[in-house]
């Protein structure tokens, strides 16, 4: 008979083996915690959750907060009780948040003081009568720190859960680009298999020092590479929010010695445009990961000139972070690739009928692996349409070369068809980024009477730079097939981004619709 695999307590293990090693440094608050201190705080919080709030195995606990080390304390306390935590995107509107908490029914809500007013409304929507604020009791919430004061724990009475790899660790809601957000169920096993899969390409190891800038309501924030760092007993430096200059300062500080760092292309772009980038050095950096969106070749070359090889990875919430990753060799040899599929993962590239395509042919990527979510919370219809015989449909258009490297063309749904030819916006954007005058660009498909759909490029100029629509179209004509050249160019002051830095093309489409213009079917 198969035996369930036990999920150990990482923090308790390191508290025994290396109690004085620094576990986390919260750059926002200045708090530094060793593994012994983090373990003690998580233990006291777990006791308070169990005895004062009735949290038990199978319950959900919501967190509505900007980045703080407290979020990890809640994560590890929940795990000791067999509960799952639910990080809420604080950039969402109230109706979106209300939908999420009604969907997952958390018993308790933690929030930052600056989010107290909205937190009260979110808690009310979920029927939560007691909520906890990090900084104090505004708006009727309870104070966090007294829960962790020495003496509040009940020695020997903590109803510690016997977690296995199948135990639910987290419910993380997708961004909801279409329809309502869906809660991907992330198990303890998915957490472990994700970090094991990513260990070789990203050089995870004992003593690693990671800088986390992505929001902790995002899978990249918690699992790339914060939780892997905790698993290996390393040190996490946590920023409250991304700032290009501050991030460059931390990465360049030899006393801190950051070895691991991951962010999205726009973060790297903004750092490369900062005045301190020219003098910044990155001597301690072992791994500089990049993911979340297609990466322009020009950006890779800019960082390579500073001696930093940006290793592209690819993943999503449903994969607990990672599906494929580049080695440093392939980062140079396979420019534009998102790497090869991870060791403990199967993959297929299929056509619209779910049939495997040949090498080099574009199709949708399907994956099957122990780090893939078993499904969505309360979404039988999404599970039925998003999985086929345990194969998860990623929704991303890919091709695979003869060496097994994957190339992401775009979201499968973002492709548009111009004159019968498939066009992937990311391919066009990569060419546009070759122009020094362009700071950011997004390409969307729009209806056209003659061709069905054509491209529209929405462009942000670099400060002080001048470039015309005619020059952009001419550049594209010299580097792209005619059907891929954008038909029109719009200049804007800024593109909309989500909290992780991804460009929100849906908002560009919505703005177009608000102006009374039709929206392309592929967009």
Averaged confidence pLDDT in the chain: 90
Q: What is the DSSP string of 241-272?
A: S--HHHHHHHHH-TTT---EEEE-HHHHHHHH
Task: Describe the strand order of the beta sheet including 260-263 as a list of residue ranges.
Answer: 32-34, 22-26, 235-238, 209-212, 260-263, 287-290, 310-314, 324-325, 340-341
Correct CATH for 415-514 of 3.30.300.30, 3.50.50.60, 3.40.50.620, 3.90.320.10: 3.30.300.30
State the architecture of 191-412 in CATH terms: 3-Layer(aba) Sandwich (3.40)
**Predicted confidence (pLDDT) at residue 83 exceeds the cutoff of 50:** yes
Q: Which of 2-6, 51-55, 277-281 has the lowest mean pLDDT?
A: 2-6
Task: Report how far apart, in Å, the C-alpha atoms of 336 and of each of 305, 428, 463 are.
Answer: 17, 13, 27
Q: Report residue 207's pLDDT band, with 50, 70 and 90 as the boundaries.
A: very high
Q: Report pLDDT for 355.
A: 96
Q: Report residue 22's pLDDT band, with 50, 70 and 90 as the boundaries.
A: very high
Q: Report pLDDT for 422.
A: 67
For Cα atoms 264, 503, 197, give the angle at the middle one, nearest 5 degrees: 35
Q: Which two tokens stand for residue 347?
A: 């993959």
**Predicted confidence (pLDDT) at residue 246 exceeds the cutoff of 60:** yes
- Residue 87 gets the label, from left (phi > 0), alpha (psi -120 to 50) or beta, of beta
Q: Report pLDDT for 521.
A: 34
Q: Report pLDDT for 518.
A: 45
10 Å CB burial of residue 243 (0-12, 13-18, 19+) is middle
Q: Report pLDDT for 178.
A: 45
Q: Report residue 520's pLDDT band, with 50, 70 and 90 as the boundaries.
A: very low
Q: Report pLDDT for 395.
A: 87
- Helix or strand or coil: residue 23? strand
Angstrom distance (rounded) from CA 467 to CA 277: 24
Q: Which of 7-21, 377-391, 487-501 has the lowest mean pLDDT?
A: 487-501
Q: Report residue 21's pLDDT band, with 50, 70 and 90 as the boundaries.
A: very high
- Helix or strand or coil: residue 481? coil
Task: Tell me how crowded residue 357 is: count the other CB atoms within 10 A of its CB.
Answer: 16
Q: Report pLDDT for 67.
A: 97
Q: Which two tokens stand for residue 446?
A: 């729009």
Q: Report pLDDT for 523.
A: 30
Q: Report pLDDT for 247.
A: 98
Phi, psi of 25, deg, nearest 5: -125, 115
CATH 3.40.50.12780 domain range(s) in the chain: 191-412
Q: Decide which of 154 and 418 is more confident.
A: 418
- Each residue's pLDDT tens digit, 102-146: 999 999 999 998 899 999 999 999 999 889 999 877 667 789 999
Q: Residue 66 in contact with residue 29, Cβ under 8 Å?
A: no
Q: Decide which of 84 and 154 is more confident.
A: 84
Mean pLDDT of 491-498: 90
- Helix or strand or coil: residue 430? helix
CB proximity list for 180: less than 8 A, separation 6 or greater: 99, 103
Q: Report pLDDT for 430.
A: 82
Mean pLDDT of 375-392: 94
**Predicted confidence (pLDDT) at residue 177 exceeds the cutoff of 60:** no
Q: Report pLDDT for 514.
A: 53
Sign of CA dihedral 430, 436, 437, 440: positive
**Predicted confidence (pLDDT) at residue 77 exceeds the cutoff of 90:** yes
- Each residue's pLDDT tens digit, 258-307: 999 999 888 998 999 999 999 999 999 999 999 876 677 888 899 999 99
Mean pLDDT of 454-472: 94
CATH 3.30.300.30 domain range(s) in the chain: 415-514
Angstrom distance (rounded) from CA 278 to CA 276: 6
Angstrom distance (rounded) from CA 106 to CA 85: 8
CATH class of 35-163: alpha beta
Task: Report how far apart, in Å, the C-alpha atoms of 425 and of each of 198, 312, 413 are.
Answer: 28, 19, 11
**Predicted confidence (pLDDT) at residue 175 exceeds the cutoff of 80:** no
Q: Report pLDDT for 291.
A: 86
CATH 3.40.50.980 domain range(s) in the chain: 35-163
Q: Report pLDDT for 170.
A: 98
């Amino acid at each position: 008979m198969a035996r369930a695999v036990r999920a150990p307590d990482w923090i308790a293990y390191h508290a025994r083996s290396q109690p004085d090693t620094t576990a986390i440094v919260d750059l926002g608050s200045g708090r530094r915690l060793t593994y012994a201190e983090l373990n003690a705080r998580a233990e006291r919080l777990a006791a308070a959750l169990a005895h004062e709030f009735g949290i038990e195995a199978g319950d959900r606990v919501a967190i509505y907060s900007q980045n703080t080390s407290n979020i990890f304390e809640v994560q590890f306390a929940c795990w000791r009780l067999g509960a799952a935590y639910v990080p809420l995107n604080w950039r969402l509107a109230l109706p979106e948040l209300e939908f999420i908490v009604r969907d997952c029914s958390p018993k308790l809500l933690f929030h930052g003081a600056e989010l107290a007013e909205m937190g009260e409304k979110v808690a009310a929507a979920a029927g939560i009568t007691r909520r906890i604020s990090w900084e104090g009791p505004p708006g009727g919430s309870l104070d966090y720190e007294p829960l962790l004061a020495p003496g509040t724990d009940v020695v020997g009475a903590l109803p510690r859960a016997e977690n296995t790899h199948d135990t639910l660790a987290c419910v993380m809601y997708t961004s909801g680009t279409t329809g309502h957000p869906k809660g991907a169920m992330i198990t303890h096993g998915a957490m472990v298999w994700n970090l094991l899969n990513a260990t070789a390409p990203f050089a995870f190891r004992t003593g690693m020092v990671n800088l986390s800038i992505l929001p902790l309501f995002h899978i990249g924030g918690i699992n790339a590479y914060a939780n892997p760092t905790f698993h290996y007993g390393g040190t996490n430096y946590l920023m409250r929010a991304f700032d290009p200059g501050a991030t460059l300062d931390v990465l360049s500080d030899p006393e801190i010695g950051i070895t691991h760092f991951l962010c999205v292309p726009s973060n790297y772009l903004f750092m490369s445009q900062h005045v301190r980038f020219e003098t910044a050095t990155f001597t301690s950096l072992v791994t500089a990961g990049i993911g979340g969106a297609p990466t322009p070749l020009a950006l890779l070359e800019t960082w390579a000139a500073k001696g930093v090889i940006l290793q592209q990875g690819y993943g999503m919430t449903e994969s607990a972070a990672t599906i494929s990753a580049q080695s440093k060799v392939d980062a140079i040899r396979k420019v534009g690739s998102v790497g090869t599929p991870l060791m403990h993962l199967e993959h297929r590239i299929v056509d619209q009928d779910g049939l495997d395509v040949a090498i080099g042919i574009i199709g949708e990527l399907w994956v099957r692996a122990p780090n893939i979510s078993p499904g969505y919370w309360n979404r039988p219809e999404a599970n039925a349409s998003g999985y086929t015989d345990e194969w998860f449909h990623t929704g991303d258009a890919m091709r695979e070369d003869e060496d097994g490297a994957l190339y992401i063309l775009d979201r499968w749904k973002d492709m548009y068809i111009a004159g019968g030819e498939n066009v992937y916006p990311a391919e066009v954007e990569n060419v546009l980024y070759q122009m020094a005058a362009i700071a950011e660009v997004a390409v969307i498909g729009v209806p056209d009477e003659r061709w069905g759909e054509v491209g529209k490029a929405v462009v942000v100029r670099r400060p002080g730079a001048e470039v015309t629509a005619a020059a952009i179209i001419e550049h594209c004509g010299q580097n792209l097939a005619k059907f891929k050249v954008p038909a029109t160019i719009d200049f804007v002051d800024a593109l909309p981004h989500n909290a992780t830095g991804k460009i929100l093309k849906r908002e560009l489409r919505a703005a177009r619709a608000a102006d009374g213009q039709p929206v392309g079917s592929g967009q």
